[in-house]
Amino acid sequence: MSRIYGLSGSGMDVDAIVKSLMTAQRASSAGLTQKKTVLEWKKTAYNSIYTDISNFRNSVFNYKLGATLNPKAVSSSNTSVATATALADAGNISHSLVVSQLADGVKLTSSSTITTGATGTIATQLGVAATAFDITVKNGTATKTITVDPSTMTLNDLVSKINSSGTNVQASYDTTLDRFFLSTTNSGSTAGISLSGNSNANDFIAKLKLGMTMTSSTDSAVPPVTTYTHTSGNGKDAQFTLDGQALTQSSNKFTIASVVYNLTSTTPYTNIQDPNDSTKTILGQQATTIAVTSDIDKTVANIKSLVESYNTILASLNAKLDEARYSSYLPLTDDQKSSMSDDDITAWNVKAKSGMLYHDTTLNSLVTSMRNAFANPVTGITGQYTSTASIGFSTGAYTEKGKLYLDETKLRTAITNDPTVLTKVFATVGTTTTVDGKTKANTQTQGIAARLYDTLQATMDILSTKSGTTATATTDTKSDIAKQMAEYTKRIAAAKVRDDDMESAYYAKFNAMETAFSKLSKQSSWLSQQLG
């Protein structure tokens, strides 16, 4: 609302006067807003670094694992018989395998069509009594009793109940073939299907024509209760000879000595060399060779990936630490923006936001610790390879600020000479000490991955305390920056109230002055009239 006074004859632009009087006062309040904005920018910068560190830390964890540092390559001389993979601690040796029988479960199928009446409920379709009964489904040690109501349930309803019974028994009903199917989802000699219940259950199970063997037992209750049990045969174990030893397993996929075997067929009979006479052949089974070796190509690729990730985050940290800070470029106020173009505002903000983490002590400490983690040897391990330098790691020129380089040839040589070298250098747990009841790792005895992982976690803890883990203070009220921002919010609100009160007081004074001028003008006019 315009407040230009003049009715009294003063002709003063009160709005302009008050605005001028309030300029210095509002500048002080704007300063509080600018300081809060700088904190918001710094919190955002910290959060971005926190996220980068967290992601890098997650990837570093993999380099504490044998699967990353010592992956294995496994070949099979006959993949139609068996394939295999190997865990990191599997020995680099070849195994001889002859498969004589595959593991199998139980499969039951109706011997002929089962429907005797109209399709619908079990009672009408199979011609059984409509009275509800219980059936106990058993497979090995797994057992479940389900209730069947022939008057309301269909065969598909029963299928659903069996499949959700948790007994590893799978059921299905084919309407086209009009046959019922039961099978075990597990295999081995302990797998087998048992269905039991009272006489109504017995009648129903018989109508399924699954070829199960029925037995009955009567207890001594009064009146006595007879239970009818229908059982299938058992499944089969896998039978094979591994490195000359006859063994069995309940599944075709199993792990022995850290090698994971997957049997796909029995070993065929063919003409093989007579073990007693090299000039003759006999009908026999040619053993499948499962050869385990170190996968050096994959190992080197994994280490190269670590170097790339390390260099990426190191470059990001160094860039933030060296980013110029333009202290004279403060966040723009609304009044300042109103007189600037969009391009000018963008250019200004680029400089205003620059250098939020310039020479930050926490990040400086992290960079130093990261570089030391790779540079220092691992004490406590013996042999030719006790440091990253010994297996091909190096840093560039001083101006590259710790960038890592990898000599692949040197690394391959080290792995060939000692397949466990990376596990030693990177994954060694190290020793610990206890001080004041707290356990602390001895950094020098830790592997590189353990050092990095702990260092990154320590920095994340510091950043969490300093700036929280989110970019805004909406959900963060406990970090140091969030508390400072909250304090600025209070001061800004108080300053606004104070400024508004002061502005109102100025206007009140000018209103009083204008009223006085008006009265004086009226009195002067009256006197002039009286005096002619």
CA dist., res. 133 & res. 145, Å (int):
10
Same domain, 348 and 463: yes
Instruction: Please indicate, yes or no, if residue 489 is contained in any of the structural domains.
Output: no
Instruction: Decide: helix, strand or coil at residue 507.
Output: helix
Examine the fold and report which residue of 247, 268, 294 is the final residue of a domain before the chain moves on.
294
Same domain, 262 and 200: no
By CB atoms closer than 10 A (0-12, 13-18, 19+), residue 191 is: buried
Instruction: Please indicate, yes or no, if residue 200 is contained in any of the structural domains.
Output: yes
pLDDT at 390: 96
CA angle 17/18/24 to nearest 5° reads: 105
Same domain, 345 and 464: yes
pLDDT at 463 over 90: yes
Concatenate the DSSP letters of all residues of 133-184 into one string. EEEEEEETTEEEEEEE-TTT--HHHHHHHHHTSSSSEEEEEETTTTEEEEEE
Instruction: Please indicate, yes or no, if residue 497 is contained in any of the structural domains.
Output: no
pLDDT at 516: 72
CA dist., res. 516 & res. 222, Å (int):
116
Query: What is the Cα gyration radius of the chain?
Result: 42
Instruction: Please indicate, yes or no, if residue 529 is contained in any of the structural domains.
Output: no
With beta carbons less than 8 A apart as the criterion, state whether 266 and 286 touch. no
Instruction: Please indicate, yes or no, if residue 138 is contained in any of the structural domains.
Output: yes
- Write phi, then psi, for 348 (nearest 5 degrees): -65, -45
Segment 142-178, tens digit of pLDDT: 999 999 999 999 999 999 999 999 999 999 999 999 9
**What DSSP designation does 337 have?**
H
Instruction: Please indicate, yes or no, if residue 8 is contained in any of the structural domains.
Output: no
Which sign, positive or negative, has the C-alpha torsion 348, 349, 350, 351?
A: positive
Q: Read off the tokens for 98.
A: 């002859």
Average pLDDT over residues 55-84: 95
Which sign, positive or negative, has the C-alpha torsion 192, 104, 245, 291?
A: negative
Same domain, 469 and 345: yes
Same domain, 187 and 216: yes
CA angle 233/238/244 to nearest 5° reads: 145
**Among 190-199, 422-431, 443-452, 495-504, which stretch is predicted with the lowest mean pLDDT?**
495-504
Same domain, 443 and 355: yes
pLDDT at 477: 83
Same domain, 89 and 164: no
Examine the fold and report which residue of 294, 320, 337 is the final residue of a domain before the chain moves on.
294
- Write phi, then psi, for 119 (nearest 5 degrees): -65, 135
CA dist., res. 12 & res. 22, Å (int):
17
Instruction: Please indicate, yes or no, if residue 9 is contained in any of the structural domains.
Output: no
Q: Read off the tokens for 276.
A: 């007693």
Average pLDDT over residues 312-336: 93
Examine the fold and report which residue of 249, 275, 294 is the final residue of a domain before the chain moves on.
294
Nearest to 207 by CA among 124, 87, 290, 93: 124
pLDDT at 471: 67
Task: From residue 176, give the alpha-carbon distance in Å to each of 67, 113, 115, 180, 211.
Answer: 50, 10, 11, 11, 20
Average pLDDT over residues 205-233: 94
Same domain, 159 and 46: no
Tokens 């139980």, residue located = 106
Cβ neighbours for 110, distance < 8 A, ≥ 6 positions apart? 178, 179, 180, 181, 208, 209, 210
pLDDT at 464 over 60: yes
Give the full edge-to-edge strand order of the sheet including 259-263.
Answer: 82-86, 259-263, 253-256
Confidence band of 372 (pLDDT split at 50, 70, 90): very high
Mean pLDDT taken over the chain: 90
Percent of residues, the chain, with pLDDT higher than 90: 71
Same domain, 54 and 77: no
Alpha helix ranges (H) inside 323-447: 334-338, 342-353, 361-375, 408-417, 421-427
Same domain, 301 and 359: yes
pLDDT at 74 over 70: yes
Same domain, 448 and 332: yes
Same domain, 199 and 333: no
CA angle 84/89/90 to nearest 5° reads: 40
Cβ neighbours for 97, distance < 8 A, ≥ 6 positions apart? 81, 82, 240, 241, 242, 261, 267, 287, 288, 289, 290
Residue ranges making up the domain that contains 275: 72-103+237-294
Confidence band of 473 (pLDDT split at 50, 70, 90): low
Largest Cα separation within the chain, whole Å, is 156
How many domains is the chain partitioned into structurally?
3
Instruction: Please indicate, yes or no, if residue 176 is contained in any of the structural domains.
Output: yes
Which sign, positive or negative, has the C-alpha torsion 9, 11, 17, 18?
A: positive
Confidence band of 4 (pLDDT split at 50, 70, 90): very low
CA dist., res. 27 & res. 333, Å (int):
9
Please indicate, yes or no, whether the overall pTM of this predicted structure exceeds 0.85: no
